[in-house]
Amino acid sequence: MATVTIPTVARQDPRRWWALGALVASMLVLGFDMTILNVALPTMAAQLGASTGEQQWMADAYVVVFAALMLPAGLLGDRFGRRRMLMTGLGVFLAGSLLGTLADDVPLVVVARAVMGLGGALVMPLAMAVLPALFGPCERTKAVGIVSAASALGAPLGPIIGGWLLDHFWWGSIFLINIPMVAIGLTACLLLLPETRDPASPKVDTVSTALTAAGLGALIYGIIEAPGRGWDDPLVLGMLAAAAALLTALVLRERRMARPMLDMSLLRNRAFFLNTMAATLVMFVLSGLMFVLPQYLQAVLGNDAFGTGVRMLPMMGGLLVAAKGAEPVVRRFGARAVISGGLVVLAFAAILGSRTGVDSGYGFTALWLSVAGLGFGFAVVPSMDSALGALPVERAGSGSGLLMTVRQVGSALGIALLGSLLAGAYTGRLDTGGLPGPAADAAADSVVGAHGVAERLGAPGLVESANSAYLAGMGLVLLVSGVAALVTALFVAALLPGRWSGTGRETAGSGKESAGSGQEAVEAQAVGGEAPAVAGGAEAVEDGARGDGRQ
């Protein structure tokens, strides 16, 4: 295991806390960028005429690129300098934000989001990887917690800040807000961060990187296009077949590599595999819910953008409460029981939410959102901590890299699959009888489009039909999510090892420092941020925080 020796004087540099502020600014902007777009989608759909599929692409372009390039980005930082690549990532993110600010059509927004995903893939792992250059072991846990908290704080701030901006400025302002924060981060990194690298790290495998990006892109494209074209459409079938072939080739190539970027052999560890699947399912449901919920709050209930952001807080509040309270519950009952219980609570909340009707009002929604947040938190905190705790310390880096990548794929699939399920149910139930062809097509594209058509044509019946159709689609999404969570809870309860993994290490994370730092990291993970490899303790931070696949 290669490490970088950091001089003691660098760790005691009084500027280190200012440098930490730069990292906090970087992680904060990435944290709320994960959720700020969701509350803006209804407004963007109305002003850009975006269909549900196009909204899915605006959300998924960032996630797909982020998931595909996170591991090679960490390796680039190891080989060419972490500060240099971190600043490069911030610069790329800044360019994507500028492009998004100036965009005036859907394809340009998708391109901007993809560019931002590239920048985020460089920033997220490397922001954690530079911490050992700034802080000694006695301060590092505190520093990691601060950076993790910045990611966690960004998620609930995203809808609120985005809503306020949309109520006062044009929709491009949600990207404009990134520019001053990124500029501060760039300046501070240039002046305050020391340069570190690890020339002994594995080389970036361009073929594996290309297979990952192409495979995920083809899979997401096929899923998003299926509701409109049909699952038997030749293009959809071709894309899904290409995705299967590309991802199979990736797995086969990685299994033959001496030092793979994605160490697939880790999935043979039952505790790691099941905990990873549980955490991934939570991200699958969370991402899908964050996609369908703003349109309900804004279009169906009639809230403005800021009000929509505020009304999403009960879920975030429940999630953060559970994230804080998970550690003592895990100590008392064990990770298996808490993960299973969290998934059952999540299933109950989703099934309860599927009963939402046109006349339910926000009070009922706030209730099941709060319960869903509790389920999310109690499922994802111990599953993330136990996944890494099930691995030997020397494999924490490769394990965290695989875990992060699978979770991001889960997020992308959640938006694609659940969004497509929503689109199919909405279109099938919408009554567009008597509308001219173009108006009917616009109404069928999204509930926001239907409201716009109804306002132009003076057709209140269309509003009622669109609201009813959207709630039917949202109810189906929540019902499927609830069933998936319940099935996963049963598998976890039946198959997950108890308090101890096969390696003889306690899966719940018994050490005080490990449990604390793991909790801080997972709190960020739970709400859409990333704080890789912190649950493995100080060794994971130094050698595995980048998720770079190094063993």
Contact (CB, 8 A) for 98 and 179: yes
DSSP calls for 148-184: HHHHHHHHHHHHHHHHHHHHHS-TTHHHHTHHHHHHH
Dist CA 412 CA 406 (whole Å): 10
User: Could you count the other beta carbons within 10 Å of the beta carbon of residue 142?
Assistant: 13
Dist CA 178 CA 3 (whole Å): 34
- How far is residue 135 from each of residues 15, 19, 130, 141, 176, measured CA to CA in Å? 11, 11, 9, 9, 33
- State residue 156's pLDDT score: 62
What value, to the nearest 5°, has the Cα angle with vertex 147 and ends 145 and 149? 65
- How far is residue 423 from each of residues 127, 220, 302, measured CA to CA in Å? 37, 15, 20
Domain locations along the chain: 1-204, 207-260, 269-412+482-530
Dist CA 378 CA 482 (whole Å): 15
Dist CA 342 CA 544 (whole Å): 28
- State residue 346's pLDDT score: 92
- State residue 471's pLDDT score: 92
- State residue 504's pLDDT score: 36
Q: DSSP code of 394? A: G
Identify the CA nearest to 198 among candidates 547, 549, 543: 543
Q: State residue 201 phi and psi, 5-degree precision.
A: -70, 160
Contact (CB, 8 A) for 476 and 421: yes
- State residue 162's pLDDT score: 79
The 3-state DSSP class for residue 506 equals strand
Do 1-204 and 269-412+482-530 fold alike per CATH?
yes
The 3-state DSSP class for residue 500 equals strand
Dist CA 161 CA 204 (whole Å): 37
- State residue 241's pLDDT score: 93
- State residue 398's pLDDT score: 56
CATH fold for domain 269-412+482-530: Growth Hormone; Chain: A; (1.20.1250)
CA dihedral over 535, 499, 345, 284, signed as positive or negative: positive
Dist CA 21 CA 29 (whole Å): 12
Identify the CA nearest to 35 among candidates 446, 321, 381, 309: 309
User: Could you count the other beta carbons within 10 Å of the beta carbon of residue 268?
Assistant: 8
User: Could you count the other beta carbons within 10 Å of the beta carbon of residue 296?
Assistant: 22
CA dihedral over 383, 385, 388, 389, signed as positive or negative: negative
pLDDT tens column, 281-335: 888 888 778 778 888 888 888 888 788 878 888 887 787 788 777 778 888 888 8
The model's pTM: 0.70
> Around 443, how many Cα atoms within 13 Å sit in the side-chain half-sphere?
30
The dotted CATH code for 1-204 is 1.20.1250.20
List of the chain residues with pLDDT < 50? 1-11, 500-551
